Amino acid sequence: MFAMVLALGFCLCSCESATLGSHAHATPGSLLTVLHVTRTPRNSASPVTFDKTFTDAKVVQRLYSAAIALPKFTEQSCGTQTQGYVFFVYHLTFLQATIQFAQMTLDDYGCMGLTIDPGDYRTTNLTFISLFAQTIGVSAQAV
């Protein structure tokens, strides 16, 4: 009897995490409801200069979908940059209610880019920067 209860408990835990994981990867943007953004000056030990939380799920989902749709960074990506650099480092945390789903960092390393995961660096474009700026309520030039 104890073995059955233990096996059932293990199965329920495994199934729950597998469901959340597979569901999260199947349609991640549709699960997100909150975006928390902080900004710090680039190359500075200064404190956070921007700290806001956004709860419009459609806006959060739109930005997340645009971020993961960005092309992977290539050496040729730098040549297509047409505007200045990011003067701040933005830290984006996407949440499903109160559960952290993804963290991203918008910064420039000689090219404007978005780090989604370690080793997953995406090339941004003016469309994405404009959407990001609109989402957080600043002008694209201020980004």
50 and 78 share one domain = yes
pTM (2 d.p.): 0.72
40 with 5, same domain: the answer is no
In this predicted structure, the answer to whether residue 11 has a pLDDT above a threshold of 80 is no
For every residue of 1-44, DSSP letters joined together read: -HHHHHHHHHHHHHHHHHHHHHHHHHSHHHH--EEEEEEEETT-
Residues 52 and 99 in one domain: yes
Higher-pLDDT residue of 19 and 139 is 139
Looking at the structure, tell me whether residues 44 and 105 fall in a common domain: yes
Q: Are 10 and 40 contained in the same domain?
A: no
Model confidence at 17, in pLDDT bands (50, 70, 90)? very low
Query: Do residues 47 and 15 share a domain?
Result: no
Report pLDDT digits (tens) over 49-68.
Answer: 899 999 999 999 999 999 99
pLDDT category, 8, cuts 50, 70, 90? very low
Quick one: 2 and 72 in the same domain? no
For residue range 117-129, list pLDDT tens digits in order: 888 999 898 899 9
CA separation for the pair 117, 89 (Å, rounded) = 15
Distance CA 21, CA 63 (A): 21
pLDDT average, residue stretch 119-143: 90
- Identify whether residues 78 and 122 lie together within a single domain: yes
Count up the domains in the chain and report the number.
Answer: 2
* Strand order from edge to edge, sheet including 34-41: 50-54, 34-41, 88-96, 99-108, 112-117, 120-123
**Residue 40: pLDDT above 60?**
yes
pLDDT at position 43: 67
Q: Provide the domain limits for residue 88.
A: 32-142
Please report the pLDDT score of residue 64 as a whole number.
96
Distance of CA 130 to the CA centre of its chain: 16
